[in-house]
Amino acid sequence: MLFLFFWGCASNPSPSEDKVKREAVPDSLRLVLLEKTYHRILTFDLNKEPMDSIKVMLTDESLYWIEEIENAALNESRDFVEARPFHEILTIVTFRILERDKKLRGIYSDRLLHLALGHSGLFSKVNSLELGEFEIKVDRGMRGLKISPKVPIIFFEWEDNRWKFDLYNTMPLVLRGVETIGIKKEWEPGYTVIYLLEKLYRRQLNFDIDEEFLEPNR
């Protein structure tokens, strides 16, 4: 443990070193790179391009979250799922529905990543939103809605002279709009998720969507 502590101290750059690295790339260029990275995330073809090519564009926290939520989707019981925040319940139940419908057939790893960032994935819902301009504050890139541009809902982190998408902190805010449907009706988050997904998929699937999907597929 002592070795790890000193190794960490030796390997982590000082704040002044971070500032030098940041200033090596002017904000005008970083803004261009931010917009390109955002577009790349939205247009990345997970079926044709190496998975590692998109993983390097995600923050470590986001990669850990994706792995943890996929494990929950495969194994977690209803009591644990319903204790989670709305965006995680929605992600887990959507995963279970698509797994049952064989939509994830042939995908043997990183299936949650496909669900979140693939074509027609959860994050693609931002295409239906009217977004404002990107803004940079130190090492954080952000974007809000056009009607409230100073309230960001999409986040990126500047690491190693490149932008990385902060999916972990973006997902709850991007899905906040649909969450308010249940909040206004004073529904439990789990019930809201089932209601929304039943409306979305009712004519696309040959099985019913109900509270059964709050439990893992068997």
The pLDDT value recorded for residue 114 is 82
The pLDDT value recorded for residue 109 is 67
The pLDDT value recorded for residue 127 is 79
Give the start-end residues of each E strand in 67-126.
Answer: none
Measured in degrees and rounded to the nearest 5, phi and psi for residue 145 equal -70, 155
Q: How many Å apart are CA 52 and CA 74, to the nearest integer?
A: 23
pTM reported for the whole predicted model: 0.84
The pLDDT value recorded for residue 46 is 77
The pLDDT value recorded for residue 108 is 53
Provide the token pair at 3.
Answer: 């070795």
Q: How many Å apart are CA 152 and CA 132, to the nearest integer?
A: 9
Handedness of CA 106, 108, 113, 115 (dihedral sign): positive
* Residue ranges of the chain with per-residue pLDDT less than 50: 1-11, 20
Q: Where are the domains of the chain?
A: 34-200
User: Residues 6 or more apart from 87 whose CB is under 8 A from it?
Assistant: 171, 172, 175, 179
The pLDDT value recorded for residue 106 is 60
The pLDDT value recorded for residue 58 is 96
